[in-house]
Amino acid sequence: MTVSHLHYTAWPDHGVPDNVMSLIAFIRHVRKLHPVSHQQPLLVHCSAGVGRTGTLILLDIIMQQMKTEGTISVLHWLRNLRMQRMKMVQSQQQYEFIHCGLSELVVCGETEVGAANLRIALKNLKKKGPVGFTGFQRQMQIIEEVSSHHPVTFSDAEEEYNRNKNRFPDKLPNDTYRVRLRCGPMPGSDYINASFVNGYKQKGAYIATQCPLENTVADFWRMVNEFQCGCVVMLCQLQEEGEESSCCFWPEEEGESVVHGKLSVKLVSVKTHGDIVTRKLEMVEGAARLNRPHMVHLLQLTSWPLQGLPHPMAILSLIDQLTSTQMRCGNRRTVIMCSDGVSRTGTFLTIHCQLERLKTEGVVDFLQTIKSARLHRPGLVNNTDHYVFCHEVVNMYLDNFDTYANFEFKEVFEFL
């Protein structure tokens, strides 16, 4: 007998998951492997077998009801469950969580697309509906609508002593998911305008951030060092349309070292391939003879304009280079940044995340990926053109499928 064990890893000991749609996606995945028509029972368990277990089972039942009857009877089915096992769905918070999930399910609809259907979906989403909006525009409206209900606070970023560390006053990290540096003696010493964002396979796989200001360069390198980041992806140039998008935060000459506080950063090599500049940097904290160097690869894409989009192949080339670099440096956390840490940053990490999922499951879901990422960093992928571009890059990946030897579908049984 073969048993498939699927493990949902995002449920905390107390409370509910941050993203209800990740649980719904998990249930859908379960039902692909174990359809409702399956004669053998589905085993669901948690610590006590009532709270989290009951929440998942009730959500699954209502999702089936919505699909077959087009109706929702949460209270009826909860009573039915509790007649069979006491205290199923243990708290009001879990009960509200179920309703939030069903509400989002109704608003968002089914947005997961299989690889074989992506080209058709792309074509259909470009068509205008009865009210004059394309499918892409409507989905962006849904993202904005659902994201507006996310509980976010920016109190740390808005502290008087932190305001000059933000390039734009409206592009700030959510307090809950901001990167926290080791505290120093000064107020705000733990602050940097950067946020953890989940990847497809790894929690907090990305750090999304603005490019450094002159007064935050030392903080940036502290972050890279403290969180042992292996790659930094920079999606802008230093100057764009006559304005500074980033200060130069690396040594300019090969072999040159620059000291930032306790960190020494040395430029080991620079290589340019097309519109991608790769800088290999060596970081040492304190005395070089006492501490092991930390190698960092800075990949800069120079062809993404402030207003506009690069060629999709430029993004695929950058991701290909990032993937090979990550494999060499041990798949450590990746920093992704642009001038504001939101627009180009969000678009790139969405594409990267979708390609990871495509290779593994053979499906993509742009809307849910962006909605989930916005919990961590508000405003990611902030216009329809970037949303369309995400689809077009992944579609081009499929068109050039044979070029990428790593494309294969595998089953994964852990959900973040």
What's CA 109's distance to the chain center, in Å? 20
Chain centroid offset of residue 300 CA: 20
Q: How far is CA 132 from CA 136, 168, 189, 395, in A?
A: 12, 33, 50, 25
- The span from the CA of 16 to the CA of 287, in Å, is 45
DSSP calls for 80-121: HHHHHSTTSS-SHHHHHHHHHHHHHHHHH----EEGGGHHHH
CA-closest candidate to residue 110, choices 413, 364, 386? 364
Cα separation, 412 vs 410, in Å, equals 6
Contact 228, 333 (CB under 8 A): yes
Residue with tokens 């998008």: 245
Q: Which residues have a Cβ under 8 Å from the Cβ of 1 and sit 6 or more positions away?
A: none
> Which amino acids are annotated catalytic?
46, 338
- Coil, strand or helix: which one is 162? coil
Q: If 0-12 CB within 10 Å is exposed, 13-18 middle and 19+ buried, where does residue 351 land?
A: buried
